[in-house]
Amino acid sequence: MKKITFIPGDGIGLEIMYAAKEIIDAVTDSIEWEEVIAGSTAYEKCGVLLPEETIKSIEKNRIVLKGPITTPVGTGFRSINVELRQRFNLYANVRPVKTFEGIDSLYKNLDLVIVRENTEDLYRGIEHKVNENAAESIKIITREASERIVDFAFKLAEKEKRNKVTLTHKANIMKLTDGLFLQAGRDVSTKYPHIKFEDVIVDAMAMKLVMNPHDYEVIVAPNLYGDILSDLAAGLVGGLGMAPGANIGDSTAIFEPVHGSAPDIAGKNIANPTSAILSGTMMLKYIGEEKAANIIEEALKQVLMKKGLHTKDLGGNLTTSEFKDEIIKYILN
């Protein structure tokens, strides 16, 4: 029995995460869930965004399935997600980008992964006002973090039998920071001569991803570029509702849908839970439950292939719970 910290989150998280959890429970009885809260839900209940109980649960269990979280404006952390990544040193953000038959998307048979460095760059939040009319933000890039994330990308390519790693940067302009990231990537690549390595300037990468996304298998990027490119790539396969994510460190991993809490549709039972479901299958694979993950992915694939069996955002009429029920029905039949 594996104990997993479960954070439903805010907004639509309260719908899509319970749907994902119910689907996982329909496939395996090897998980014991420990439910805790964070974000607006926690703030309304106990006056803090990240309760000590939640932090202790993550410290103890080390594996988390988490919903989208709202950070209230004007109080607490800049971002709870960033706080969790930095607190638990979750240095690798992993964003698979994959098409599903039956979903309208710009491309077919697309299957790539974006690996984003998660702990530094401009997201360190080191900024200050110079004067009333100017502000300055400091970009931090270190060799240690750069080598670590590129090595992670190569190891992922090996594990998933992918043949190429593409590093993206802006070293033609930021010669010291991005130059360091690029050099660290080149140094690490020499340990993996059996995997092709290339580098692409980030603005060209954005264009190439739109024009020829099948040319790429694993893309590794600093924090800011990885954030932007992963959302761009999600747009190629149907949007953020189809995009799962993971934040992984040496001892802790948090799996979560990449979209926000969508308070405008919260409580209406119309949110698409696909991103949450796929984040759950990523978690299952991480803890060694490969068979359970594959069963869920196959069920999701079969349901999405059927015309009309989609949530509203995908052109269908199913509610969140009806979509979840169709997946469970396929699993149990």
- Tell me which residues are annotated as active site: 123, 170, 203, 227
Cα–Cα distance measured from residue 64 to residue 201, given in angstroms and rounded to the nearest whole number: 34
Cα–Cα distance measured from residue 300 to residue 298, given in angstroms and rounded to the nearest whole number: 5
Q: Are 244 and 257 within 8 A, CB to CB?
A: yes
Question: Using only C-alpha atoms, what is the Rg of the chain?
Answer: 20
Q: Are 66 and 255 within 8 A, CB to CB?
A: yes
The pair phi, psi for residue 253, each rounded to 5°, is -145, 135
Cα–Cα distance measured from residue 284 to residue 293, given in angstroms and rounded to the nearest whole number: 6
